[in-house]
Amino acid sequence: MAKDDQLPALLTGLGIGDDPTALTALMEGHGHLLLGTPGLASALVADGEMDEQLRLDLFQMLADEARMDMENRGRLGKRFLAEAADAISVLSEAGSLNPETGASLVQAYARAEVVAPEGLVAAVQENALAEIGSDGLPDDLDAQIEDFRRGFGDNDFLLYSFLNNLLGGMAVPLQAAFVQHVAGQGEAWSGSLALYWLLSPVAEVRLAAAGGLRERAQRGSLDTATASMLLLIRPWLPADRVLPVLDTALREARRQEPVEPLEMPSMRPGRLLGTLPDGSGCQSFAVSLDGADGSAAAFVLLKVGHGVKDAFLARGTEMADAMLAQLAEVSEACSVDLPFDALEPALSAALAEGLSEGKAAPPGLIDVARACGLGALRAQAMTARDWLSRIDPEGEVARLPASKRAELIELSRDWPLEYSLIEDWFEGTAIVEEALAGANGSRPQNAALWAALEKRRDYWALLMVRAAHVLQSATGDRDWRSFVATATALVDGEALEGIPIMQHVLETTVCAWQEEERALNGNDPAVGGWPFHA
C-alpha cells in the first residue's frame, strides 16, 4: 500500500523523483492504473516529506483522470475519489489538515472539475469568508487588472483565461467576490469577462457574474453589446438561481433602452471537419474561418450524455492551420469533411444534454458562436428517435424489406474496420465488475453482461445516429443507412445479441476489463509488473 512515507520512493521508481515535468509522462504511461493503487489517494492528500506542489499537482491530474474514468463508466475513478474524501475527513477531524493544504486541495478539485468533499469546502470557505471580511481583496485590485488587460490587448478571452486561472487558487467565496467586483465595473471589457463567467461550471461564480451585471444595469451603465449578448447566452444556462438575477439585469437594461439580439460578426466559414463518436462518446468539430481581421479556426468537443465539453476560437493563421491539421489527421480515417450546416444540429443537441445534467455551456462557445454566425443557437433535446426522423425524414430505411434492413445491420460487423474510432467502442469496466459480481459460470456471466448492456441500449443508439448524421452530411453513401438501420433496431428493441456491432462492444468491453485486471494485479508485461497493489 502506498503509505505517505513510501510515496517519494514509489514515484522515484517510476522516474518521477522531484521533477515536475515528468508528471505528464507518468500520467500518459500509468495515469489510469494509478487510480487503482490502494493508499495512493490518501498519501497525496496528506502532508509529508515529498515536495508539496509536486504532490498536489499529481493529485489534481489523478482527480481529472478519475472524473474522466467515471464519465466513461469505469470503476477506478470512483474508488480513488472516495479514498481521498475519507482521508481528508480523517485529517480534518484530527486537526491535521492545515489551511494552505486545504485551499490547494479545493483548487485541485476545481481544476479537475470534480466536486470537492463538503467538509473540506466548508472549512476552506470559513477561512475565506474571514478574509473577505478583513479586506481579502487587495486595495489595488483594479490597478492590477488594468495592468493585466494592457498585456492582453483587446483579447478579452485571454484576459478571462488568465484571471480565471488565478481564481483557481481561491476558495469559492473569494472567487465570487472577485468576479462580482469585476463584472460590476462600467467598462465594455468587464462586460465581456462577465459573459464568460456566466458560463462557469461553478454556480457561485455564475451567480456573482449575474449579480455584477445586475448592479451595472441598475446604475444604467450596462452597455448595449453586453446586454444584447445576454439574449444569446441565457438559453445556454441551467435553470437555477442565476436566471432570476440575470432576468432582473435584462429588465433593468430594457428600461434604459431596447435590447435586441446583437448582430453576429460572422466570419466566412471554410472547411468543416468532424469525427464520429469515439468509445467514450466524444466527437470533435473544427471549422476554418476567414474574415477582415485574418484567419481563425473554431473548435468544439461534444460528448454524448455530457453536452458541449469544450469550445474555443484559435485566432491567427498559424494556430488555425495547426488545429485543423491535427483534426484532419484523425478525420482522414473517418471520412468527415462536412458542409457547414452540419454543425448547428450537433451543437444544439449537445447543449440540451449538458443542460439536462445542470451544466452550462463552456465559455469559449460565446466566441465560437459569434465567429460562426450562430446567433440563433439554442438547445434542442434530441432522442435517438428524433435523430432518426431528422436523418431519414421520408423513412427510406424503414420502408425497406426486412431482408434489406437485416443486410444493413449485418454491415455493422465491418464498422470497426472501416472507421478507426469505432474500433474502440466499448463500455466502461464498471459494467463488467457489476455484472460478474452475482454470476457464477460462463453462461450466467455471459447472460449478466448482456443484461447490463441492455440498460445502455439508448446510449449506443445515440452514438449510432450521431455517426449517421456525420456520414450522411459527409458522403451520402450507403454507410449512413447501415447506421440508421442498426440504431433503429436498438430503438425498436431487437435482441442485442443478434446485432454484430453490439457483439463487438461486448467483446472489447470484456477485453478492457481483463487488461485492467492483469495490470492492477501486476501480471501485465506491458507495464513491467505493476508495483502498486495490495
* Domain ranges for the chain: 4-133, 151-256, 268-382, 385-520
Cell of 153: 490587448
Collapse the DSSP code of 44 into the 3-class scheme (helix H, G, I; strand E, B; otherwise coil) and give the result.
Answer: helix
**Residue with more model confidence, 152 or 422:** 422
Cell of 349: 443537441
E strand or H helix at 499, and its extent?
Answer: none
Q: Give tens-digit pLDDT for 250-290.
A: 999 888 887 887 777 778 888 898 999 998 999 999 998 98
Instruction: Provide the b/e sequence for 376-397 (b: ≥16 CB within 10 Å).
Output: ebebeebebeebbeebbeeeeb
Burial class (CB in 10 A: 0-12, 13-18, 19+), 19: middle
Q: Which of 112-121, 247-256, 396-405 has the highest mean pLDDT?
A: 396-405
Q: Give tens-digit pLDDT for 13-48.
A: 554 555 656 677 777 767 777 888 888 898 888 866
- Is the pLDDT reported for residue 3 higher than 90? no
Whether 261 and 373 have beta carbons less than 8 Å apart is answered as: no
Residues 298 and 287: their CA atoms lie apart, in Å, by 5
Question: pTM of whole model > 0.95?
Answer: no
Q: Give tens-digit pLDDT for 460-516.
A: 999 999 999 999 998 766 689 999 999 999 999 999 999 999 999 999 999 999 988
Cβ-proximal residues to 230 (8 Å cutoff; 6+ apart), any chain: 195, 198, 213, 246, 249, 250, 259
Average pLDDT over residues 183-192: 88
Q: How many percent of the chain have pLDDT more than 70? A: 85
Quick one: DSSP state of residue 95? T
Distances in Å between the alpha carbon of 362 and those of 213, 236, 311, 316, 390?
19, 9, 6, 22, 26
Question: What is the predicted pLDDT for the residue at 102?
Answer: 85
Question: What is the predicted pLDDT for the residue at 526?
Answer: 38
E strand or H helix at 1, and its extent?
Answer: none
Q: Give tens-digit pLDDT for 44-82.
A: 888 666 677 788 888 999 999 999 999 999 999 999 999
